[in-house]
Amino acid sequence: MQANINATRMELLRLRRRVALAQRGHKLLSQKRDEISRQLIQISRLLGALRKEVEKELVETSRRFVMARATMEPESIKSAMDVPTKRFSLAISFASIMSVRVPKFTKDIEGEIISYGFANTSGELDIALKGLEKVFDKLLELAEKEKQAQLLADELQKTRRRVNVLEHVVIPELGQMIRFIYDKLAEAERDNISRLMKIADLIRA
């Protein structure tokens, strides 16, 4: 590569500008990497606690459903669940975290989750459905945070690679080119001085 470099002061100036730009980019990307890491740590801490809550509530809801099935006739369960009156829709918007587009879930729910009479149903079924309704918000939040964590982790890997390329490849290579030009210019300067001294000696002779 050095054989193709023009060892001129203009090229030296151009390379210095490229080094300054690469160093600024390295600094900004390093800050971005550190901030994404901080955001990921915060989300991970939240996810751990939230996942435990969701799992605990889902296990309890499942247990209530099992108890309801054990105390009700299959036909009664089927007829109770046949005509749902609760309608659900989900809207997805996007926010930006360190230039990464992350999803935000917004739900719209209408109606009641219990759509049957109480004559032929178990109280366990009521508790199970209410428990499912209660945990639904946390399920949405868990899905939202897990997707955010995935997208931020992907961006963190890309940012780390860019930082490493700048730090270990681009900036060192530019530094080598600058030193090469410095050496060539210094060599040309020495040759120039040597010629001038010879000319001066000839004039004095």
Tens digit of pLDDT for each residue in 9-42?
899 999 999 999 999 999 999 999 999 999 999 9
Neighbour-count burial of 105, counting CB atoms closer than 10 A to its CB (0-12 exposed, 13-18 middle, 19+ buried): middle
pLDDT digits (tens, 9 = 90+) for 106-164: 877 776 677 666 666 777 878 888 888 888 888 889 999 999 999 999 999 999 999 99
The reported pLDDT for the residue numbered 174 is 94
Question: pTM of the prediction?
Answer: 0.73
Q: In the CATH scheme, what architecture does the domain 2-204 have? A: Orthogonal Bundle (1.10)
pLDDT-derived band at 170, boundaries 50, 70, 90: very high
| Domain-wise residue ranges, the chain | 2-204
